[in-house]
Amino acid sequence: MSRPPPAYPPRSRLSKVSTPLTVDWDDDDGASTQGGGHYVDSVYSDTHHHGDDDPLERLSGGSDYDSVFSGDSGYTGLSGVSGAFHNRAVFTGPGLDPTDPDYDPNEHLRRLTEGDTVDDADRFSLARGLSLGLGSLALDDGYDAISTFEGTSRSEVSRRSTSRRRDPERKRYGNIENATNAAETGDAGAIDYVHRHGMDLNAVDEDGRAALHVAAERGDCIVAERLIELGADPCIEGNLGLTPAHVAAYCGHTDVLDAVLDAGGSTNARDRDGSTPLHWACGAGKIRSVRCLLRRDDVNTGVVNGKGLTARDVSERESCTAAIIEYDATATVHNLAADGKLPIVKRLLDDAWKSNKTTEEVLESVDAAGETMLHHACRNGRVNTVESLYVEYGANPDARSGVDGATPLHLAAAGGHVECVRVYALNAGFPRRLQQRTLMRTTSVDRRRADEDEFDEDDDKARWLRRIKRVGAGGEAVVSGSAPVHMAAQNGHAAAVEFLIDQMHADREAKDDEGSTPLHIAVARGHEDVVECLLRRAAKFDAVDGHGCQPLHLAAERNHTAVIKILLEKGGEALIVARNRYGHLPVHLAAAMGHFEAVTTLLPDEPANSGDDVS
């Protein structure tokens, strides 16, 4: 009579195997039958053969057992295990019966391995049987049946292999031994992998290369940037003292070169021979690398290596040589200041004695337009250069241009470079001195008289045209007598106007030689934001210039309808009927210039009651 199958060990204890094994249980006398065969009563007893059935084959799962119990269990190979455990003579003691619902295979294996409850023959017999029926099953603690009976765990290699199968990332990157290998894959994910596993990103391999050297050689900007983000040293030295910048310059990979230099790599780094990246770029004939290096703020074309050669001397291409010659020809102190190449500027100032000059002489030297280094730095908004020249080296902050007498502050305001203006504000000393600088005016120029000679002084329209040419059109020339606030207003830099008035106490009603206030200048150019900025600071909307024109006159003659509306909202219709020194209303100027929009904006909806005639 058949009996129900035994309770199997919990699923969490065993892993699935690929070979299905099944068994049918028979009578309580311990015999099992399959297809008429007889199962042995004792595993490997002296008389273990009954008929032609081989118990070893049955234990190993090699015979053709019925698969019903195997399918019910959800695991394969468990019926073979059941057969192996069928010899109850071996499994004695509490908790050692596999058919027991509380059976724990781990505990069973531990007791068999560590205890003395069975003799050597039984241990051998059971180990033999389990090696056939259970040996292919792995326990979840990293041990298998066979190695457990042998008293050993699975090898570290086996564990690593299993770990790789279960971890896709380790399977993909598991063979990477260092950061250099990772960089060679061209995979930024490999860089992340080695970083997470604590590998040194700056380690140098046997070829004298760090990971950044490899990325520079390959031209792999993505890997290079990832290495830098994770802390790789852009100045790391490898074989021959080469940095990643040397390698990138030599290979012509300008994107990697820029990335390394932007991250703090040295443009003028020297290898063991004293050569810079520029030497290596010229020696390899890489014109793109040469141009890339010449654009850097601190490049030094005059570095001499250990053999007494400059980069130009080792150049292998005429284009590289020509680029250096052109750079050297334009690399005057004034151009360097204009470009903000502060490291080179400071080096030239510090080494002035080498050319038999003092630092002050270099600072105050002027170009063809009579401008100093500080003029050029302020005009181009090079705030670091401005601060260094003004504060560190003591350049004259009030030096006058040879053309129109503009100071560096005028040029900073004209360009809207508020941070450069701030340098003046922070280092002016006394508040009175601060305000005095904002009141400094440009000087008259000869072309002003030439402009006046083009028109008949008795022609009113000519006067209007002259007015437009000087104040309202395109920025041909600076009106003489302009303060920094005039120049900021003229070019529409509301932030600079605001800073000059609020922080440096500039006069919002200051007049140039034409009698124009900053509001006149802003209105004539149509700079709405500057107009609103000045009106918020109580600038006079009815101020008159040298021609008796109020700001509304200038807005009308330039057809700035948006500005007209701003002024009318602030000053009311009284501005509409104001006349200049020639008796003209704003609407007259708009009509004379043919500005229909301005005319319709200025004409009142109903005739004025004041008795003023708009004709």
Instruction: Give the amino acid at 322.
Output: A
Half-sphere exposure of 366 (CA within 13 A, CB side): 12
Of the two residues 154 and 236, the one the predictor is more confident about is 236
Helices (H) and strands (E) in the chain, counts: 35, 0
Distance CA 281, CA 251 (A): 8
Instruction: Give the amino acid at 5.
Output: P
Per-residue pLDDT at 156 exceeds 80: no
pLDDT band per the 50, 70, 90 thresholds, residue 348: confident
Of the two residues 170 and 448, the one the predictor is more confident about is 170
pLDDT band per the 50, 70, 90 thresholds, residue 166: low
Q: What is the pLDDT of residue 459?
A: 52
Say whether pTM exceeds 0.85. Answer: no
Max Cα separation, the chain? 142
Q: What is the pLDDT of residue 56?
A: 37
Q: Which region among 91-95, 260-264, 291-295, 316-320 has the lowest average model confidence (pLDDT)? A: 91-95
Per residue in 588-613, pLDDT (tens digit) is 999 999 999 999 998 866 554 444 55
Q: What is the pLDDT of residue 106?
A: 67
Distance CA 349, CA 345 (A): 6
Distance CA 111, CA 117 (A): 8
**Average pLDDT of the residues of the chain:** 76
Q: What is the pLDDT of residue 567?
A: 94
pLDDT band per the 50, 70, 90 thresholds, residue 162: low
pLDDT band per the 50, 70, 90 thresholds, residue 356: confident
Q: Which region among 43-47, 267-271, 338-342 has the lowest average model confidence (pLDDT)? A: 43-47
What does the angle CA 480 – CA 484 – CA 489 come to, to the nearest 5 degrees? 90
**Is the distance from CB of 489 to CB of 517 less than 8 angstroms?**
no
Q: What is the pLDDT of residue 435?
A: 85
Structure tokens that stand for 221 in this block? 């900007």
**Is the distance from CB of 508 to CB of 518 less than 8 angstroms?**
yes
Residues linked to residue 138 through DSSP beta bridges, in sequence order: 144
Per-residue pLDDT at 515 exceeds 50: yes
**Other residues' Cβ atoms within 10 Å of the Cβ of residue 255:** 15
Structure tokens that stand for 505 in this block? 């106490």
Distance CA 438, CA 424 (A): 10
Q: What is the pLDDT of residue 551?
A: 95
User: Which candidate, 432, 365, 428, places its Cα nearest to that of 398?
Assistant: 428
Residues linked to residue 607 through DSSP beta bridges, in sequence order: none
Of the two residues 160 and 195, the one the predictor is more confident about is 195
Per residue in 551-576, pLDDT (tens digit) is 999 999 999 999 999 999 988 888 99
End-to-end alpha-carbon separation of the chain, Å? 130
**Other residues' Cβ atoms within 10 Å of the Cβ of residue 272:** 11
